[in-house]
Amino acid sequence: MKKFELTAESKINWFGRTLYRIKACIDFTTISGDEVKAGDLGGFVEKESNLSHNGKAWVYGDAKVWGNAEVWGDAKVWGNAEVWGDAEVWGDAKVYGDAKVWGNAEVWGDAEVYGDAKVWGNAEVWGDAK
């Protein structure tokens, strides 16, 4: 069963890509204890492959994920955060605030990227890093 679906609500980002708001199809609890109920709206993705249907990963609020970027495992992306390119956010990682992750960058483990932080290129943020 799918964890989420794309809604008709969309916006065009600054790259000219159309991003669609997601809506939860099932109830689940994120690794940090947030309850996501079927019907809850999430953030924006360009395509279903940007957010895994497996695990407890979720994109919230006005956060945006596009390109070949992937959010999976139990990761969370929220606020005005943006993840794009071939970037990956996974494990129990969190990207939030106005943070941006792009290129081939990876954020994983219990790492947190937040505020106005920018992670790009081949950078890796992992473990308990903040």
Give the Cα separation of 20 and 43 in Å (integer). 8
Long-range residue pairs from 90-95, CB within 8 A, at least 24 positions apart, any chain: 90/57, 91/126, 92/31, 93/125, 93/126, 94/32, 95/63
User: Could you read off the pLDDT tens digit of each residue along the chain, which spans 130 residues?
Assistant: 899 999 999 999 989 999 999 999 999 999 889 999 999 999 999 999 999 999 999 999 999 999 999 999 999 999 999 999 999 999 999 999 999 999 999 999 999 999 999 999 999 999 999 9
Check residue 19 and give its pLDDT: 98
Closest of 73, 63, 67 to residue 114, by C-alpha: 63
Check residue 14 and give its pLDDT: 87
Check residue 1 and give its pLDDT: 81
Check residue 46 and give its pLDDT: 98
Q: Which residues of 24-60 are buried (b: 16+ CB within 10 A; e: fewer)?
A: beeeeebbeeeebeeebebbbbbeeebbbeebbbbbb
Classified as helix, coil or strand, 101 is strand
Check residue 127 and give its pLDDT: 94
Predicted TM-score (pTM) of this structure: 0.96
The neighbouring-strand residues paired with 58 are 76
* Bridge pairing between strands 124-125 and 106-107: parallel
The residue written with tokens 């890796």 in the block is: 124
